[in-house]
Amino acid sequence: MIRAGLVGFGLAGRVFHAPLISSVEGLELTAVMERSTNHAAERYPRITTFRTLEAMLEDSSLDLFVVATPSGSHFEVARQLLEAGKNVIVDKPLAVRSVEIAELGKLAAMKGVLLAPFHNRRWDGDFLTVQRVLREGSLGRLVHFESCFDRWAPGAARKPWKDDPTGGGLLLDLGTHLADQALMLFGKPLAVSAEVGRERDGEGANDAFTLRLRYEGLRVVLSATCLSSLQRPRFHLRGTKGNYWKHGEDPQEAALGKVARITDSAWGQESADHWGLLKVDIDGGKVTRPVPHVPGDYRLYYAGIRDAMQFKAVPPVTLLDAWRTARLLEWALESSDQCREIACNWSEGQQ
């Protein structure tokens, strides 16, 4: 049994990590760090609550630490854990700069411990369905891929730290997921152009972005905003033989907010009226059909971590994945600041 300690019990810790850890065979949530409240113990009565990271580090029974603190603190918290020789998972973004990710990677290698980024949306059902659509080849040659995360949140952020520019804003929050998915599907782009800024009233971190990734014969557009009361498709794919559209988001996040542990045998499934639509040319005629949803399952991430810690598999997401994602988002910021396309020079010896 791998005994896990969760550092932080805000949205990430409460909605994602605690229920997922508690739902994977071979993992046990045994400790949570909360500085002043006892919300975790109310949901998980058998855990131990620590008030400081230093006190938590004194518990030698913990095999794995999961960092779910505000984004701007990830680097320092992870570094402290790694220096103590602990296995560590860090919620996205692993750090706000690619050089920090490289530094943490070197420290983990020196200590001989696991360090893994939490890029859970690789296991979104809508993303898994898109992968299947691409494998089947019904769209012909893909020419345009668009992936959007739209929100309607015109007021100030509910969590003040989310408006702190040192945490990277929406670009490092949702942008990390979108960029990681694009890199999984298409590999490293040749260049990126972007607009990253703030659309809501008042000062604070960026809350909207559009990235255009250039590949040979393919344009990939990634975007998110907090001012979209009418949401665009989550995915829009155009090919030489047809299009695929998918509205709505994976249902797992909403469901996780209501449970302490996953027990539903139909987890991750989506009703047929929410399936994406494929419209393609077949023998000169246009045919439209719904595409059955591939159920998503974030538990597969933690099952992969368990297997990696037992030396049965490689980690489900690697440090190189996190570094490439962070580097791409840094080029996006550079592009936005300079109002020009930036060539992607993948000098991975820096990682």
Tell whether 323 is covered by a domain: no
Tell whether 322 is covered by a domain: no
Tell whether 319 is covered by a domain: no
What pLDDT does residue 110 have?
A: 98
What is the band of 132 on the pLDDT scale with cuts at 50, 70, 90? very high
User: Over 70: is that where the pLDDT of 253 sits?
Assistant: yes
What is the band of 348 on the pLDDT scale with cuts at 50, 70, 90? low
Burial of 211 (0-12, 13-18, 19+ CB in 10 A): buried
* Residues 199 and 87 grouped into a single domain: no
* Residues 169 and 42 grouped into a single domain: no
Q: Tens digit of pLDDT for each residue in 163-182?
A: 888 899 999 999 999 999 99
* Residues 110 and 182 grouped into a single domain: no
* Residues 273 and 140 grouped into a single domain: yes
* Residues 242 and 288 grouped into a single domain: yes
What is the rounded CA–CA span in Å between residue 67 and residue 205?
22
Q: Tens digit of pLDDT for each residue in 46-77?
A: 999 999 999 999 999 999 999 999 999 999 99
Q: What percentage of the chain reaches a pLDDT higher than 90?
A: 93
Q: Tens digit of pLDDT for each residue in 232-241?
A: 999 999 999 9
* Residues 275 and 307 grouped into a single domain: no
* Residues 137 and 156 grouped into a single domain: yes
Total count of domains within the chain: 2
For the sheet with 64-67, list strands across it. Answer: 48-50, 27-33, 2-7, 64-67, 87-91, 115-118
Tell whether 105 is covered by a domain: yes
Tell whether 203 is covered by a domain: yes
CATH classification at residue 116: 3.40.50.720
CATH classification at residue 282: 3.30.360.10
Tell whether 224 is covered by a domain: yes
Strands 87-91 and 115-118: parallel
Name the 3-class secondary structure at 145.
Answer: strand
User: Over 80: is that where the pLDDT of 27 sits?
Assistant: yes
Tell whether 184 is covered by a domain: yes
Tell whether 165 is covered by a domain: yes
* Residues 108 and 202 grouped into a single domain: no
pTM reported for the whole predicted model: 0.95
Name the 3-class secondary structure at 44.
Answer: coil
What is the band of 247 on the pLDDT scale with cuts at 50, 70, 90? very high
Which stretches within 11-158 are classed as H helix?
A: 11, 18-21, 39-43, 53-57, 74-83, 98-111, 125-136
Name the 3-class secondary structure at 337.
Answer: helix
Range of the domain at 197: 125-296+328-343
Identify the residue whose tokens are 């668009």. 146
What is the rounded CA–CA span in Å between residue 159 and residue 28?
28
What pLDDT does residue 158 have?
A: 65
* Residues 230 and 337 grouped into a single domain: yes
* Residues 158 and 220 grouped into a single domain: yes
Q: Tens digit of pLDDT for each residue in 205-215?
A: 999 999 999 99
Q: Which residues pair with 279 in a beta bridge?
A: 243, 288
Mean pLDDT, residues 183-212 taken together: 96
What pLDDT does residue 161 have?
A: 67
* Residues 32 and 110 grouped into a single domain: yes
* Residues 283 and 152 grouped into a single domain: yes
